[in-house]
Amino acid sequence: MYLKGSKLSLKKKRRKPNVGLILFLVAGIGLLLYLNIVVVPVMNPLFVPTPTPTRDPLSYIEEADQLAAEGKYLQAVEVYQGAINANPQNIQNYLKIARLQIYTNQLEQAQVNAQNAILLDNTVSNAFALLGWAKGFQRDYLAGEVDAQKAIEL
């Protein structure tokens, strides 16, 4: 085998470097370094629950008591409902909201809240008194009288 021709060269020609590709790759690496150093440490990890500020149930009661003292019964009822949602085991919240609901002529809701207080503790005479009072305003006098008698007995 004979090699002929002047086109044959044992020296390989150097290719010209692609400056655009090199700049693009350097910019990409710089962007990744920026993200890794600056952005990632600031971000919260994924799927980790974030702490949410919760309101103390006593603050609801204090606010509702102040609103009731100022005569803002409808707003106080809403705040007492928030207190019940925050701490559903506090009987006093049910009694206070039932009393305000009777004042604002929300008799069905007052009856429900008085019954909820009785479900939590059936030895509280105020709950039976409020229940009898609500039933009396709803013209259910006999049932209201029974509840009032039960309140007197306790």
**pTM for the predicted model, two decimal places:** 0.64
Rounded CA-CA distance 126/135 in Å is 14
Domains, in order of start, for the chain = 57-153 (1.25.40.10)
What is the tens place of the pLDDT at every residue in 25-75? 999 999 999 989 988 777 777 787 777 777 788 888 999 999 999 988 999
Q: What is the mean pLDDT of the chain?
A: 86
Q: Which residues of 11-37 are buried (b: 16+ CB within 10 A; e: fewer)?
A: eeeeeeeeeeeeeeeeeeeeeeeeeee
Rounded CA-CA distance 70/62 in Å is 12
Rounded CA-CA distance 40/65 in Å is 47
